[in-house]
Chain A
Amino acid sequence: MILNIVSYLSILIFLITVLYRFIRIANTPAHLRWDLYPVPHEGFKKAKYGGSYYEELDWWTKPRHVSKASELAVMLPEIIFLKGVWEANRGLWFWSWAFHFGLYLAVFMAALVVASVIIGPAITIGVILTKIAGISTILGYILGGIGCFGMIFKRLFDKKLTMFTTAGSIFNLVFILAIFVTGLKAISEVNLFTTDQSSLIGQMQMFVSGLVGFESVPLNSSVVWHIGVTLAFLVYMPFTHMAHFVLKWFTYHGIRWNDEPNTAGSALEKDLIKSLHFKPTWAAKHVMANGKKTWVDIATDEVYKDEK
């Protein structure tokens, strides 16, 4: 039962922390534009060379086209294959891709386990999901483990990275490596490819069923270790830069690809007007802030009025 309680708490802390970080960024005021091209939602044709609606005469009189398909065409290769790292940092690419893809497969396995428990592991679809989960697990853990090793090696010995390697960055990688290693150890001690309760996936299914039904279930000790390390990581991860798996949404959609023009009477304009009425306290003389003046006051005040 202790494992169940720890699991509830860990998942709760993970969800709350991720949500908190998401909301914290979402609640920052409307900001100035800082877009960077190519902006893929300009459509396939323009995205190919990085064009924008500013290329059109009297652009404000024309309907704005936002292509989600074109965005997706950029996002998928980036998420699945780390295209950006492939193009700009080839030496790191394989390790980084293996590391990330291993994590994806591990998450995929967890989703399949939950799905098979809901569907019922014994019925045909449940059996298929269980088998896919088994394959996903072994592939993911091996790939992720290799990626972790490679990344740790690079962080410690690659001259491009060593200056920026902190104890924290090694700790993070070792932590993730521990998930893969304990997972592989559990796999080596239980039967992977059967769909009964003696397999790793079967044990995971029992664990998930136990969580759903508030029941304590007997698990192999190596599986308990594996689950324990994973839960600890779940609690730790949202406090680190690794939360980029969620917050990347803002760096791309909120900033780099945010080319929404400000139009009269729009919701954006209303938000901006609120921000323009904040009262800054910047101390330099030329800013002329005193904590009472708003940004509007400051921006419209005459810098040299005393001399006129």
Chain B
Amino acid sequence: MLAGGRLLPYGRWSCVIIGVRLTRAILREIPAEAITEALARLYRDANTRLPEDVLAALRAARDQEDSPAGREALEQIIRNAEVAAQDSIAMCQDTGVAVVFLDIGQGVCITGGGLEKAVNEGVRRGCQEGYLRPSVVADPLQRVNTGDNTPAVMHVCVVPGDGVRIAVAPKGAGAENKSALRMLTPADGVEGVKRFVVETVSAAGPDACPPFVVGVGLGGNFESCALLAKRALLRQVGQPSPEQHLAELERELLREVNALGIGPSGFGGRTTALAVHVEAAPCHIASLPVAVNIQCHAARHAETTL
């Protein structure tokens, strides 16, 4: 459960604090049912209400887009978000796999049921009450629909404090299918990274519902790199990395991606991506892992803290 230890800035020393907390035995009880209720609400909300930062980025893109068909696509995308919010209906029929991030304070004790079960019950309720589309099959080869979008994909971090932060990011397959990871080597350098990111976005093209938010994971290892890319998508759209060299890389990548000409919905134009977010982590002396998680324009997420 501590797999995300290096992914949060405070992840590494949280282990130390666990010991201190346990000896003090300060515990805040949070019922599993509260987590279920929060999940059900967040999963519905994320699917029906596009976050304000995403809408603002779409409007800015529309105002700058010089391709008429691209501008029309952006108009329709913005209008769709308004209709979805107004009618409290899913903005896209691919209501996605429920990707759930839980940052659990080490002073918290979850009572009255297991965490995983509570999360999945919330996803089930959200799916049924929100008329979301069941889009998960129980087995990748036998492919029988589970009927309620369970199980969720869960990422749990134990962090200092006595709260639980829950973020839900429904992820559709159109964009997820075009995501990619490559184990580069140090000699490939920043040029190799850029080449791979631009290649991946170019191959995603019209299929993955541009304009995208491009999440890039750099470093870590094979599995943590992919999670870095996913976490990069949770950032406010266009908010630059606090690391200057990464912020610079984000700007260069955005410029290169938007020079591809794919445009909104692939109809041509300057807006292929709204933003590129890069998250980095330490890695092996022999490795330079790069992951690109493509997020479609329906960059959905909702979060709360209990």
A, B co-complexed: no
Which B residues have a C-beta under 8 Å from some C-beta of A?
none
A residues lining the B interface (CB < 8 Å):
none
